[in-house]
């Protein structure tokens, strides 16, 4: 069963349907791979096979027998839910997230909890309180964050699919660093019920897979309206694989975001890979148009302010009173709050809470938070105006290949700017799909993203799948796995 490590979901389904393997054997096979490659740091916990069977009783469904991982900010009833933070170490979820429930209804065994940046705050997966995640293409480098564990596991062939979460690029950035496919859905398409909040107006759960078709299949299993989530869109369930014909829509107009592809500081190898991808789309019959998004320049600063403001509010609940870590030596309530939150949160989380409180404070909220909301509306308007001229946008996901672990320990601004090309879509609430489009001379993946208007996921998958069929990048595998 060695070839199953990097098999597509459909290939594994064929093995199951023809009874060449059983669902129990598939689960055991991937559990063994997760344990064998534990030094990658992709998982915080791998469940035992018996408990997985108890949690997954559905014997039918589009993902029957296809195992995966959930990022450790997504609730699984009776399992630990730590957000890779000491503040929640040992905490057990009391209910299933909607996506957890829907994936199990689709027959998918969930093998464990994926490692992540603490409370999803980071772009490199170096802020986990428990251990760092490594990039399977070069274990001296980061996989990207904050969904680095989810992405690294898929890229290394440890699971066929996983779920991450996005606030400013936390699925797409690591997907591009690791050479896999990652989706940031339309805001409200996927329920946030059971997702531990970072910035509630920006957060979305997204699937990670090795192929576009696999990604569409996983989204089909979990997307759709949910009464538990007040921000959930009242849209019907959709088969996102329905348009995967290998052809692009007739008359497709692709907008090339010129001020992104030719942005200052872009690695020449990434720019070259994007130009080659554009040529593939021309060959497929698309027309290409230059588009400029001037507000892109303000995206990172806008995201910085809004996300941290919401984080300060959301993380106020972790105070040691109701659940999680509590300093039991404190003599006063104020001391208990102060020491619990200091000891429970890592430096990155503490810094973001402090910034969030500052930009919301009296005398500063108008200068920072209110202005950021204005910039957010401008960003949305620019995207909407662009989609009046073209059908889809093509732009980079990252400006440089995956960097070395510790490279930006002393340069926090450069770390924050890793979200430069991705956070605009979170601010606008629109979907974006990251997929591999090349390799550097040092054998590191290069990714790009396709961006569409609200609820255009099926359309994005159709276009991306056609590109994927013309290129070899989704077949590339990291050595040693």
**Which residue numbers are catalytic?**
71, 146, 170
CA distances (Å), origin 163, targets 100, 113, 126: 10, 10, 19
DSSP 74: B
Distance CA 291, CA 459 (A): 20
CA atoms within 13 Å, Cβ hemisphere of 187? 18
Distance CA 243, CA 220 (A): 13
Q: State the distance between the two ends of the chain, measured CA to CA, in whole angstroms.
A: 14
Q: Exposed (0-12), middle (13-18) or buried (19+): which is 122, by Cβ within 10 Å?
A: buried
**Three-state SS at 377:** helix
The whole-angstrom distance between residue 297's C-alpha and the CA centroid of its chain comes to 22
Contacts of 465 (CB under 8 A, 6+ apart): 212, 213, 216, 244, 245, 246
> Which H helix or E strand runs over 214?
helix 212-222
Structure tokens at 60: 């039918």
- Checking 380-389 for CB contacts under 8 A at 24+ apart, the result is 380/427, 380/428, 380/429, 382/293, 382/294, 382/295, 383/293, 383/424, 383/425, 383/428, 383/430, 383/451, 383/453, 384/453, 386/255, 386/291, 386/293, 387/452, 387/453, 389/253, 389/255, 389/289, 389/291
Distance CA 370, CA 94 (A): 37
Distance CA 169, CA 420 (A): 9
CA distances (Å), origin 209, targets 77, 214, 313, 335, 409: 24, 6, 33, 45, 30
CB atoms within 10 A of CB 331: 7
Distance CA 174, CA 179 (A): 8
Looking at the chain, how many residues does it have?
481
């Amino acid at each position: 069963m060695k070839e199953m490590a990097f098999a597509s979901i459909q290939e594994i389904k064929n093995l199951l349907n023809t009874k060449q393997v059983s669902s129990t054997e598939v689960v055991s096979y991937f559990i063994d791979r997760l344990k064998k490659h534990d030094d990658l740091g992709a998982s915080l916990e791998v469940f035992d096979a018996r408990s997985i069977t108890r949690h997954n009783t559905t014997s039918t469904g589009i993902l029957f027998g296809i195992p995966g991982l959930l990022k450790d900010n997504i609730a699984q009833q009776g399992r630990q839910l730590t957000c890779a933070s000491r503040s929640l170490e040992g905490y057990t979820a009391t209910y299933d997230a909607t996506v957890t429930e829907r994936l199990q209804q689709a027959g998918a065994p969930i093998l464990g909890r994926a490692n992540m940046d603490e409370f999803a705050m980071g772009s490199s997966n170096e802020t986990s309180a428990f251990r760092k995640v490594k990039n399977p293409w070069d274990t001296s480098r980061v996989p990207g964050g904050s969904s680095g564990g989810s992405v690294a596991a898929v890229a290394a062939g440890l699971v066929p699919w996983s779920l991450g979460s996005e606030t400013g690029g936390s699925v797409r950035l690591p997907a591009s660093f690791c050479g896999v496919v990652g989706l940031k859905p339309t805001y409200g398409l996927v329920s946030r019920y059971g997702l531990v909040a970072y910035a509630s107006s920006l957060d979305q759960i997204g699937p990670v897979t090795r192929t576009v078709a696999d990604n569409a299949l996983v989204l089909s299993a979990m997307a759709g309206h949910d009464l538990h989530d007040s921000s959930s869109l009242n849209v019907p369930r959709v088969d996102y694989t329905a348009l995967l014909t290998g052809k692009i829509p007739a008359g497709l107009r692709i907008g090339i975001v010129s001020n992104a592809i030719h942005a200052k500081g872009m690695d020449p190898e990434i720019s070259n890979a994007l130009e080659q991808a554009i040529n593939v789309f021309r060959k497929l019959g698309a027309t290409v148009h230059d588009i400029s998004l001037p507000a892109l320049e303000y995206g990172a600063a806008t995201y910085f302010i809004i996300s941290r403001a919401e984080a300060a509010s959301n993380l106020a609940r972790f105070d040691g009173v109701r659940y999680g870590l509590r300093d039991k030596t404190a003599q006063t309530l104020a001391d208990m709050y102060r020491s619990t939150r200091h000891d429970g949160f890592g430096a990155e989380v503490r810094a973001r809470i402090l910034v969030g409180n500052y930009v919301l404070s009296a005398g500063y909220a108008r200068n920072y938070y209110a202005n950021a909301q204005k910039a957010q509306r401008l960003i949305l308007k620019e995207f909407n105006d662009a989609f009046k001229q073209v059908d889809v946008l093509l732009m980079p996901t990252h400006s440089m290949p995956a960097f070395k672990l510790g490279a930006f320990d002393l340069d926090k601004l450069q770390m924050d700017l890793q979200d430069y090309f991705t956070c605009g879509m979170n601010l606008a609430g629109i979907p974006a799909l990251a997929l591999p489009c090349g390799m550097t001379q040092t054998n590191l993946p290069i990714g790009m993203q396709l961006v569409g208007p609200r609820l255009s996921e099926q359309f994005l998958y159709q276009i991306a799948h056609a590109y994927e069929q013309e290129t070899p990048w989704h077949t590339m595998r990291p050595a040693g796995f």
